[in-house]
Every structure is written in structure tokens, then in C-alpha cells.
Amino acid sequence: MPELPEVEVSRQGIAPFLTGMTINQIVVREPRMRWPVPESIQEACGQVIERVERRAKYILLRTQVGSIILHLGMSGNLRVLPLGCEVQKHDHIDIELSNGQLLRLHDPRRFGACLWVKGEPELHPLLAKLGPEPLTADFTEQTLFERSRGRKTAVKQFIMDNANVVGVGNIYANESLFRSGIHPKRAAGNISQARYQVLTDHIKTVLAEAITQGGTTLKDFTKADGKPGYFVQQLAVYGRGGLPCTKCGKALQEIRLGQRSTVFCAQCQR
């Protein structure tokens, strides 16, 4: 499933081709996505895309009158292609642009979304209750510390809750907790502010590194399958259950926590 870094890489990849372009036509071949594509999406036709932004794992195509909200779901991707490009299976939506190109949403599982909202998109129910962006000044150790007081929830589930901070998906929660030396099952309310400072710093670093890794293939967004590179070379724990810890050499443990695979080092994480 694309997580925040992959979505940010997608945003960076498509933004240069979309910004300043007029939406000439929107072709919806399959409206049955995670949420039905609204007929009102056609109101975006004739509008200029002023900015391409991201909020959590949503990509926002902002115009003067409203915004198209895109979500990649579990298997979706966005590609910039020339008009008239052959349609493949699972190519569900084309946003045709005034520069002779189109933005195509490809989504085999149809868990993605293409929605239209007038006015400020932040007021849309999907965005209104989201927590702070992790790579901004709004996300601090004070934020996590205050929200965690009295919470018995495991810290891994706590930082994966979008109400506390957005975009810390399973891969990046595993990696951030390992770098911070914090056991994923430790109760969020039992962690000191000093340790939340360490965790906050590592969340920012891990996500920034993942975006950088994905960014190395931005030039390919108009070629091949359009998929960006993912953060795999630097994974220390995720997907490595049973293998030696990169710090102490002991075997990494793997458990299920909140129905998600959780890998950690019992020696290094407390």
C-alpha cells in the first residue's frame, strides 16, 4: 500500500506537468471506486490547476473554485501520459490537460478515490480531523507527549493513528521505533517527553529519507509503468523477522500488533 513517502513522491512527480494547466476533460471509465466518483467532478473542467498539494495520503489538485481529491488506495498509481495514449485494463480515470497530456489513475483493486470538493478541501470530512503533518513544524514531541497522557494504547498503534500524526504507516512506524530504541508494545502514556523527542526526530528522518529514495526515479514518471522507487535499501527491521539485528546481532522478533506485522529487537528496544 502506498504510504506518505510514496504519495509525496507521486505528488512531486506529477506537479510540474499539472501546475498552471487547464482541465479540458475528465473521462471516468469506472466510477465504482472506494467512494463513487461524483458526477460533480465535471465541474473541474475548464478550471486551471493552481497547485498540486498533499494532505496525509491524499493528493489535492487545487483550482480557484474547488479541488480534486485523489487517493491511491492499496494498489493505485498516477501517470502523466500523452493524450490518446492506449487505455489499459484498470485505467479508470483520465484528467485531460491543455498541454496535450493527461493524468491517469490506474487502480486494479479500486480502493483509490477521485472526489470533488468546492471551497477549502481541508473542510472535507476525509481531511477535517487529520493530525499534523510529520514533516512540518506543527509536529513536535510536545504534540505526541500531550496526546499520549493516560493512553494505554501501544505506542506503535498510537503513532499510526492519523488523529495524532498523519502518514506514519506500518513500515515507517517499525523503522522509527527501532531507531528510537522504543519497544512497539510499550504503552504510549508510559513514554517520557524526552523519549518522544527522540521518536519525533526519527519519524521525521525516516520519512524524509524514504521520500529521497523514491525521488531518485522522478524522471521516469512519464515512461514505463510510472512507479517511483521505494524505500527498501535502508530497512532495518520491517520484513526482517528472524534475521540478525543490525545493532546487536540478536534475532529480530515478529508479532502481530493491531493486525499488522511488527518487527523489533527485544534487546535494543525497551
pLDDT of 253 > 50? The answer is yes
Q: Which residues contact 126 (CB under 8 A, 6 or more apart)?
A: 58, 69, 115
* Range of weakest confidence among 54-58, 142-146, 153-157, 235-239: 235-239
Query: Are 119 and 26 contained in the same domain?
Result: yes
Which pairs with CB-CB distance under 8 Å and at least 24 residues apart come from 98-103?
A: 98/21, 98/22, 98/23, 98/24, 99/17, 99/21, 101/17, 101/21, 103/14, 103/17, 103/18, 103/78, 103/79
pLDDT of 24 > 70? The answer is yes
Residue 97: which CATH number? 3.20.190.10
Q: Which of 2, 5, 134, 228 is catalytic?
A: 2
* The predicted structure's pLDDT at residue 110: 94
Q: Is 151 annotated as a binding residue?
A: yes
How does the average pLDDT of the chain come out, rounded?
Answer: 91
pLDDT of 31 > 80? The answer is yes
Say how far apart CA 6 and CA 146 lie, in whole Å: 29
Query: Are 199 and 231 contained in the same domain?
Result: yes
Query: Are 222 and 253 contained in the same domain?
Result: yes
Residue 260 appears among annotated catalytic residues: yes
Query: Are 23 and 102 contained in the same domain?
Result: yes
Number of domains in the chain: 2
pLDDT of 127 > 80? The answer is yes
- Asked whether residue 84 is assigned to any structural domain, the reply reads yes
Residue 165: which CATH number? 1.10.8.50
Q: Which of 57, 62, 179, 240 is catalytic?
A: 57
Mind listing the pLDDT tens digit for each residue in 185-214? Answer: 999 999 999 999 999 999 999 999 988 877
Q: Which of 34, 110, 185, 260 is catalytic?
A: 260
Under the banding of pLDDT at 50, 70 and 90, the label for residue 3 is confident
Residue 31 appears among annotated catalytic residues: no
Cβ(238)–Cβ(231) under 8 Å? no
Q: Is 62 annotated as a binding residue?
A: no
Q: Which residues contact 89 (CB under 8 A, 6 or more apart)?
A: 108
Query: Are 257 and 185 contained in the same domain?
Result: yes
Query: Are 168 and 112 contained in the same domain?
Result: no
**17 lies in which domain range?**
4-123
Query: Are 147 and 116 contained in the same domain?
Result: no
pLDDT of 225 > 50? The answer is no
Show the beta-strand stretches assigned E in 99-185: 101-106, 113-118
Residue 57 appears among annotated catalytic residues: yes
Query: Are 258 and 185 contained in the same domain?
Result: yes
- Asked whether residue 135 is assigned to any structural domain, the reply reads no
Which H or E run contains 197?
helix 193-215
pLDDT of 221 > 70? The answer is no
- Provide the β-strand partners of residue 70: 59, 114
Residue 104 appears among annotated catalytic residues: no
